[in-house]
């Protein structure tokens, strides 16, 4: 069991997300064993700005495949562009198309290692 804080574990997982792929807060939380702590994952994302190396928080969206970012609208728009830059298509403005297809589940990709 890692002695790192929950946040660091979240960061580590998020950093392993391949470009052009996305995952959900809940999935990360579930992978970390705290399925119900999806909020904590989101909170960790907010703290990701303090983390180093930087965490691609833009690849983490909510369960709906919608890019959130209530923290700062500015970053929100910007992250959308980054996602598109990685080949991810957005529907309305924040809805990811083929979200299910692009979904990167840590509990599946990283499995139980």
Residues 59-88 that bind DNA (CB under 7 A): 60, 62-64, 68-71, 75-76, 79
The phi, psi pair for 92, rounded to 5°, reads: -60, -75
Compute the distance between CA of residue 10 and CA of residue 51 in angstroms, rounded to an integer: 11
Residues 41-60 that bind DNA (CB under 7 A): 41-49, 57-58, 60
Compute the distance between CA of residue 53 and CA of residue 66 in angstroms, rounded to an integer: 25
Q: Does 90 bind DNA (CB under 7 A)?
A: no
- Interacting residues with DNA (CB under 7 A): 5-7, 24-26, 34, 36-49, 57-58, 60, 62-64, 68-71, 75-76, 79
């Amino acid at each position: 069991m890692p002695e790192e804080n929950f946040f660091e574990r979240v960061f580590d997982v998020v950093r392993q997300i391949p470009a052009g792929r996305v995952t959900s807060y809940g999935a990360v939380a579930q992978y970390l064993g705290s399925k119900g702590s999806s909020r904590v994952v989101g909170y960790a994302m907010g703290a990701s700005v303090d983390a180093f190396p930087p965490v691609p928080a833009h690849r983490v969206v909510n369960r709906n495949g919608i890019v959130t970012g209530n923290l700062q609208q500015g970053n929100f728009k910007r992250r959308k562009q980054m996602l598109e830059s990685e080949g991810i298509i957005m529907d309305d403005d924040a809805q990811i198309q083929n979200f299910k297809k692009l979904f990167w589940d840590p509990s599946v990709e990283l499995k139980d290692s």
